[in-house]
Structure 1
């Protein structure tokens, strides 16, 4: 069964050195929304927070943004994102998909600025932008023809 035929949610992560942005989405609708942020202290992820999100949303799969260089090559953060994805897969026994996240931070900042101009966002807050970046990663992954891999 392909993930796009699935009736479950997908959690997406924007991996950073101090914070993870988290978004939730549904493959049937192809829509996503910013959900939360998870703290990272000295390289250690707050797994208790992620445990709570997984219990609450019961995702069928995860998407992790891969921070690639502009030319598509890997950089130091790419390795951190891949390692986080491997930990997710082992911890929750679900499929982890990777998605190119080039330009998502800039797009998240642009969307946040637009929300602020409309009055729906009060001030620039890094956590909000991280979660919004995760939303953009998931929206991009849903719209990609390469997301045809199967769910567990």
Structure 2
């Protein structure tokens, strides 16, 4: 059984989710709200020490037509930094609709509008991890 940490990378926040390859069920972990890289990577280092993942997954935000955009480049750079700093394999997963799906799921629980903000990135990370687990299994 391997633990996997997934990240929904954003310029302002990074959503984090965890799951295992055996169970295939992602769970929210937290939202890292720090903007500076030192703080972000220090928190990620703590999460990696805590969860001991064998794999990292990063959402790749593509345009609707599947093309690359500025946020795609930033997500790829973040993935490369994760791999370089933590010496763990990093997979990229198409996350075109993860935030919209996360918002819709939160709407169904009664969490709407601005109240979604604290959980939205974590749920998006869960969707990213769910996609990766479905393809890896």
Give the TM-score taking structure 2 as reference length.
0.92
Q: Name structure 1 gaps, 5 residues minimum.
A: 1-6
What does the per-residue CA deviation read over 1:85-139, in whole Å, with 9 as the maximum and x for residues that have no partner? 000001111000000001111100011111226xxx9x72313100000000000
Task: Report 1:1-20 matches (<5 A).
Answer: 7-20=1-14
Alignment match of 1:81 (pick from 75, 94, 103): 75
Q: Residue 137 in 1 paired to residue 131 in 2?
A: no
Q: Tell me how far apart the structure 2 counterparts of residues 137 and 89 of structure 1 sit (CA, whole Å).
A: 18
Structure 1 position 43, deviation (Å): 6.3
CA radius of gyration, larger in: 1
Give the TM-score taking structure 1 as reference length.
0.83
2:104 corresponds in structure 1 to 110
Alignment match of 1:98 (pick from 92, 95, 99): 92
DSSP-derived class of the 1:41 partner: coil
What does the per-residue CA deviation read over 1:46-71, in whole Å, with 9 as the maximum and x for residues that have no partner? 11111111111000010000000000
Q: Tell me how far apart the structure 1 counterparts of residues 118 and 56 of structure 2 sit (CA, whole Å).
A: 20
Q: Tell me how far apart the structure 1 counterparts of residues 9 and 115 of structure 2 sit (CA, whole Å).
A: 19
Q: Tell me how far apart the structure 2 counterparts of residues 44 and 78 of structure 1 sit (CA, whole Å).
A: 21
Q: Name structure 2 gaps, 5 residues minimum.
A: none
Q: Number of residues paired by the alignment?
A: 136
Q: Tell me how far apart the structure 2 counterparts of residues 45 and 68 of structure 1 sit (CA, whole Å).
A: 26
1:128 corresponds in structure 2 to 119
Alignment match of 2:56 (pick from 62, 77, 99): 62
Alignment match of 1:53 (pick from 36, 47, 50): 47
Q: Tell me how far apart the structure 1 counterparts of residues 103 and 18 of structure 2 sit (CA, whole Å).
A: 19
